[in-house]
Chains A and B, each alone.
Chain A
Amino acid sequence: NAGVTQTPKFQVLKTGQSMTLQCAQDMNHEYMSWYRQDPGMGLRLIHYSVGAGITDQGEVPNGYNVSRSTTEDFPLRLLSAAPSQTSVYFCASTRDSLNYGYTFGSGTRLTVV
């Protein structure tokens, strides 16, 4: 089925470890984004991309890196995990950021201990 695929679904990291959250979409969408969802904080934009080779920072980019080498993939890298990065992470994509709404992945639940 077409959509946004995120892996892994669950992950536990130790403080200071690094990891990459994977995101892939098969809808040929130009726009992709990463959000984190925290209780009481809602959804906050981490990084976004408007096409292959183009990325930019969102509201809460510190501690995260992204790259967009292909239209399909938009991985999120945690450089040195901190307990404050414990969250649920969602990847999303759309063909038109203003009119079509985003398709979201099922999320990665990350715990940093």
Chain B
Amino acid sequence: ETGVTQSPTHLIKTRGQQVTLRCSSQSGHNTVSWYQQALGQGPQFIFQYYREEENGRGNFPPRFSGLQFPNYSSELNVNALELDDSALYLCASSLGGSTSYEQYFGPGTRLTVT
């Protein structure tokens, strides 16, 4: 079990609403990545934050945004929710700048958009 935690565990939203998901990284890790995993698919990279700055982004529209705080915890915000946003959202923490780049994943937040 990793030290990465995510909240909430499950969430149900209506199309058009906004949602904020939260992630606490493993102690000592300064990098947080967010992934979206649709049913039956592998996780897809959304973006990464390194020392509070966005440091790479996948093929996701601007309505997916994020923040990283001084304690390296992070938020994922999704505006104008669409039905296709229903997925498991995973965050992963790692120690950027080191020679060890294993990412440690949290248990995920299951988002359902109706």
Our verdict on whether A and B bind, yes or no, reads no
Residues of B bordering A, CB below 8 Å: none
